[in-house]
Each structure stands twice: as C-alpha cells, then as structure tokens.
Amino acid sequence: MRTCKLDNMTLSVDFAAGHITSLILNGVERVVAATPLFRVRLRDGAGQTYHYTAYEAGTRAETEKGGLYCDFPAPFEDLTVAVTLTEEDGGVRWGMTVNPNTGDAFAEWVDFPRVTLPDLKREDPEAGGEMLLPYNEGILVSSHLERDATDFRFWNPEYPSLGCYSLFPNMISSQMMAYLWKDCGLYIGAHDPARGVKALDFYQNGDGTTIQPRLFCGVEFGEHFETDYPLIWKATDGRWESAAEIYRGWFEGHLPPKARKVMGDETLPAWYGDSPLIVTYPVRGWHDTDVMDPNPMFPYTNALPVLDRIRKATESRLMVILMHWEGTAPWAPPFVWPPYGGVESFTQFRNALHGERDMLGVYCSGFGYTTKSRLVDDYAPVDYYEKNGLAAGMCAGPDGSIVSKICTAQREGYDICPASPVGRKLLDKAYAPLFEESGLDYVQILDQNHGGGQYFCYARDHGHPPAPGAWMTGSMQDMLGGWNEKAPAMLFGCESAAAEPFIGNLRFSDNRFELNYFTGRPVPLYAYLYHEYLRNFMGNQVCGDLRGDRETLCHRIGYSFAAGDCLTLVLSPDGRIQSYWGQRDLSDLPNEEKVLTFIRNLTRFYREEGKPYLYAGRMIPALPVECPERELIGNWGTRSFTLPILHTTAWEAEDGRRAQIVVNPEEWDVECRVGGVKMTVPALSAKVFALEL
C-alpha cells in the first residue's frame, strides 16, 4: 500500500490489488468503487486486439519506489507494465511504462490512471459534482444522463474518426480536466510538451463517475511505451478557474512551436486588433445539404449593399467569410480553387471590401478527399484519385481498409493522412492556389478537423507508426508551419478553436461555445488559458437555437464579447440576420435593430474602454455577480437551464490594471452587484468595474 499525504489530499493506492483505495479531499472520501488502475490495448500484426487491466496481471508487485510492476498470462506472457507514483509540487505524479517484449505486437493505448468518483450532481445531489472539460473551448457537465442523450456523449475513439470525440488535440483543446465539488476539486493534467494524442473523458459507471484518460502510444511493433511526461493530480478549491490556473502555469513554461503573445506581435495584421465583425453567408443554396444553385447573394457584389448597411449600423470593420463559394462543389475538399463564378467576379468583390477597409475570408472543409459530391452532380474526381495513386495517402484502418464518416451527407470520399508523403503533397497542391492567388485575408482551412488535429491512421507504409500517437501532432505542426510561411499575410483557422499544439499556426478560429449547451454549461476556459496568445470569433452558432421567452442571439453575442471573441452575424440568402447557421424557419428572426445596436455599442465600448482587457488581456477569476436570471430550453430537446442575464469576465491588462467586464444584452438597464458592490449596466451595452490590485 502506498499513501501520499498532501495539503487537502490524501491518496492511497493498493498496488498489489491494482487499484486506488482512497482519495480524501477536504476531509471527505471521494472514491466510490474499486476500479482497475490501468487498462492496456495491444495490437498484433494481424490487427487482432488484446485488452488487459491491472486486475488481470499474472503478478502484481509493489516496487521499492512505491510503484507497481506487472506481468501477464498467455498469449502475451512477456508483456510487462510498470507504474510509478511520486509526490511533486503539492500534488502527485503518475508514470507508466508498457513493454510487449515481442516484435509481433505494440501497445496501442493505455487508460491511466483510472479512478471512480461519485455520480455527477444531477444524479447525486449530495455527493456529486461537475466535470470540467476543455471540450469545444470549455464546459461544466453536471449530468451523465443529459450528456449521454446527445452525439457529444462518451465515445471510445476508433477508426474511422468522428469529429465529436473527446480527443486531444481536436475537440479537446488542452491536456487537462477536473472533477469539481463546491468545496474542493481534483485537477488531472497531462503535462506533455510533445502534446501527443489523448482521449480525456469520463463515463457513468454504476453509481459513480469513472475518470479515464486514454493515452495513445504511437509506437512501432516491439517498442516500449513510456510516459516521458508527468500525469499530475492536485487538489483545488473547486472553482474551474483554479484548475485552469494550475494548467496555465505549466503551459506558460512549455509553449508549443510558434506560440507567442498577441501584444507586440508584429506579424499579425492590423485588423486583428480592431475586433472586426464577422459576417458569414452562403453564395449557393441556403443550408448544408440544399440544392446548390446560386442565391441572391451571388454574384458576390450583390452583397455589397447589405454589408454597407451593417458596417454603418455597427460602426465596425467587417470580415466577410463566405460559405459554399468553392468552384468545385461545397463541402468537397481538398480542391476548392478557382472560386464559383470565376476569379474575376471574386476578385472584384474582394477589392470592393478592401476599399472599405474590410476583409474577406472563406470556409474550407478540412482533410477529406471527395470522390463524389452529393450536392453537385458533375463533381466526382474518381479518375484523378485512381490515376495518381491517391489511396496511398488516405487514412487507413488497422485492416488496411479506407473509410470515412466525415460529412457523408454532403460527399463521398476518404480522409487524407497529412503525415504520408502522398497525402502531404496532395494537400499542398490543392491549397497552393488559395495561398498564392486568392488575396484572401483569412481562411478557415480546417473545417471538420476540429481544433486542427488530423484523423486516425493505422497505415504501415506512410512513414509513421502504425497507430495514433504524438507523431500526428508533429506532422500537423510541420504542415501548418509550412503553410504559414507560404502565406504570411493570411491567417488560418479551424472549426472549434485551435487545440493547444496549433495556437501558433491557427490564430483565428470558429469558437462555437453554444454547442456545449447540449450537454452542460459553457465556461470560457479556452480564453482563460490562451487569450494572451490568440483571438477567436463567435462562429456561425450552428445549432444555437436556444429558446426562452425571447430570442437569444444577443445573449450569445454577450457571452462571446465577454470571452474576448470577435462577434458574428449569420445572414440568410436574402441578406437578413439569422439567429444561427442552420435556421430553417425565417418567420422568427432576431430583431435586427436591437442586434445591430448592441453590436455598435459593444464596438464603441471595445475601442474606448475594453481593448486593454479584451484584445490580449489575461483572464483572471471574476467576482460574483448578483443579477436576475432567465430560463432557457434547448431546441434539440426538453433540457432546460437557468442562466444569469448578464455576462461577465475579469481581466488583467498588460500594464497591470485589472477590471471586470459586465455585458447586458437586454433592452433595459439592469441593476446588479459585483462582489457585493451595487452598479447599473446600461441596456444593450457593457461596463467596466475596476478591480483593486
């Protein structure tokens, strides 16, 4: 038995039995069930998988250093696993080594360290808490049942990839998570400078919550896997900001390639600091699977009167980001250029925007190879695929099969592996005209590749290990870095915000925090960790149809503004403001005058008062704000939740000033208390509350 006694945390591990026996936080036992400390998957040359847990070891022996050494029965009697546990910097440090001791197999992944804590608080109000995940920029989950009823539920990531996996670096942006109670919390962090692939997740297990970090090994046949980085557990005070502080402290000492603070970065374009208003709309069709005929916003210059009206009403610089603009077919990567309607028409529109000091960007659709568009009948580049032997550059499964599940309603095809020579060459060729000829200011180049990560590939002839691992992160960093050099005047982004390894490459991304209302409550964890290094925009708010007694677009605008993101308007094909991308019923649109007034007021506030904090400030814990609340219902089901009508965040500016920003999306002045101090926030506006140093 090994026991670590630390401030506010006592951890006991029975290595001989193979599990954690006790975790006492703030004087209360938190372990509710015995759970194997680890689980390992091996894969042999035929693709067969074998699963072992600490309970199935032939021998379990505690080492002199207080760790665990195991070996296993046939057919892998040579397999050994070693676990270490040490005290470090007020917490504990876990480590693990897996050695198959045979050239016929490799370790594919390990789940480690595993522990089962109480059910979440909606299922267990007395003992339960909330899970903090850096999922889709930041979420607090309080119910397994609500989460498991959605597509954002617990999944075991497998080939072929899906975008909704709780996977780093993809929808999970950071290598940390935390279980939080009112009085305390458990921080769980993988402090891995290589930022290899990990599934950070949890699931309901009987009457408990099993915490399951999955570490993908990315090794060759016969190689051993070792966590050459610490897996850290620490006690916190229960606030999500406190867990974020622990991780931010590590991050700032281990920056990923090209990551640098926004303030003073002369490589960034001038518009970055002007907080442009994003205006996005399609030029063909209306939604993702419509008939792709040109709509009233095409030719491109048809939109200029609409954009002029928005620019004047909001007093904002605009960043127009086009959808369904590709000359091949919408949602049909990788080839996108020339634009629909021809280069001349596109260039005329771009030049008109630049003449008004506005910017032009486009959405692309990630690392797919389209063999047939389901939206445009005559786009099916199968011959090109076969003639050029492109199968050698596609993500393959363990059995060698090539399958894709990404956007199958819009296209048929496969997922490109950018770590393969064929895949890398294909992507570089497909996007070269975009970099060299378009004159664009921004490209959301990795739509579908959430966070900027690539998809799983098990191919044995691509020059990478035969299973997911840190090589995936390295290959993406290398390719994105090359693209940055080829198009230094152009910013890139991805769907969701850039995962941590890529924040130096993807400086402006589609932050769709509203998706977290499906399964919990969004929190600005991403901005807390990374806002000094990059900005994002509000995104197209897909599936954002939250309903209450009033339309919620202004509330979502208020949340994004407080988080430091640029704001977004989604337009219908006839130029009206929609509530979100994907809205079908245009009989119930937002009040345009209210929305435009709110954005104008926030734009003025940003320029006159908020920029020192919201442009490149450092987020800090906010004081509590007492204000009225409102109940909302998600349009996707019956889940209801109550939210404050005001949005707030706190910041430290570069010069050391500290302030709390309070945003009011309502059409009336709202009285509130900030840290017990009474104040009034004007209607459709924001206010600064100075904080003492």
Taking only the tens place, the pLDDT of each residue in 416-457 is 999 999 999 999 999 999 999 999 999 999 999 999 999 999
Look-up of token digits 């998957």: 41
Look-up of token digits 């630390």: 6
DSSP result, 105-127: EEEEEEE-S-EEEEPPTTT-TTT
For residue range 495-551, what is the model confidence (pLDDT) as tens digits? Answer: 999 999 999 999 999 998 999 998 999 999 999 999 999 999 999 998 876 766 667
- 653 is in which domain, residue-wise? 620-691
Q: Would you place residue 78 in the very low, low, confident or very high pLDDT band (cuts 50, 70, 90)?
A: confident
The pair of structure tokens assigned to 647 is 């949005």
- Is residue 271, in this structure, part of any structural domain at all? no
Please compute the mean of the pLDDT values over residues 11-20 and round it to a whole number. 93
pTM: 0.97
Q: What is the number of other CB atoms lying within 10 angstroms of the CB of residue 693?
A: 7
The pair of structure tokens assigned to 489 is 């005047």
Look-up of token digits 């095809």: 413
Calpha distance 310→308 (Å, rounded): 5
Please tell me whether residue 569 adopts helix, strand or coil conformation. strand
Angle at which helix 592-605 crosses helix 304-314, to 10 degrees, equals 60
The dihedrals phi and psi of 579, each to the nearest 5 degrees, come to -75, -30
Q: Which residues contact 206 (CB under 8 A, 6 or more apart)?
A: 33, 116
> Interior CA angle at 196 toward 190 and 202, to 5°?
55
Specify whether the CB–CB gap between 446 and 491 falls below 8 A.
Answer: no
How crowded is the C-beta side of 38, counted as CA atoms within 13 Å? 27
Specify whether the CB–CB gap between 16 and 63 falls below 8 A.
Answer: no
Please compute the mean of the pLDDT values over residues 157-161 and round it to a whole number. 96
Look-up of token digits 């491109």: 300
User: What letter would DSSP give residue 2?
Assistant: E
- Give me the pLDDT at residue 548, please: 64
Q: Which residues contact 62 (CB under 8 A, 6 or more apart)?
A: 1, 2, 15, 16, 68, 69
The pair of structure tokens assigned to 681 is 């926030």
* Strand partners for 61: 69
Q: Which helix (H) or strand (E) holds 479?
A: helix 470-486
Calpha distance 534→474 (Å, rounded): 20
For residue range 364-410, what is the model confidence (pLDDT) as tens digits? Answer: 999 999 999 999 999 999 999 999 999 999 999 999 999 999 999 99
- Is residue 660, in this structure, part of any structural domain at all? yes
Specify whether the CB–CB gap between 562 and 648 falls below 8 A.
Answer: yes
Closest CA to 650 of 617, 619, 679: 619
Please compute the mean of the pLDDT values over residues 474-503 and round it to a whole number. 97
Number of domains making up the chain: 1
- Give me the pLDDT at residue 151, please: 87
Calpha distance 426→128 (Å, rounded): 50
Nearest-10 Cα torsion for 635, 410, 277, 642: 20
- Is residue 117, in this structure, part of any structural domain at all? no
- Give me the pLDDT at residue 551, please: 77
How many residues does this entry show for the chain?
693
The yes-or-no verdict on residue 635 having pLDDT over 60 is no
Mean pLDDT for the chain?
94
- Is residue 687, in this structure, part of any structural domain at all? yes
- Give me the pLDDT at residue 65, please: 65
The yes-or-no verdict on residue 662 having pLDDT over 80 is yes
Q: Would you place residue 59 in the very low, low, confident or very high pLDDT band (cuts 50, 70, 90)?
A: confident
Residue 556 corresponds to which amino acid? Answer: R
Q: Which residues contact 112 (CB under 8 A, 6 or more apart)?
A: 37, 38, 39, 83, 94, 96, 213, 215, 231
Residue 224 corresponds to which amino acid? Answer: H
- Is residue 96, in this structure, part of any structural domain at all? no
Q: Would you place residue 157 in the very low, low, confident or very high pLDDT band (cuts 50, 70, 90)?
A: very high
Region of poorest pLDDT, from 76-90, 329-343, 643-657:
76-90
The dihedrals phi and psi of 186, each to the nearest 5 degrees, come to -115, 115
The yes-or-no verdict on residue 638 having pLDDT over 80 is no
- Is residue 443, in this structure, part of any structural domain at all? no
Nearest-10 Cα torsion for 287, 433, 451, 248: -140
Calpha distance 490→470 (Å, rounded): 27
- Is residue 497, in this structure, part of any structural domain at all? no
- Is residue 203, in this structure, part of any structural domain at all? no
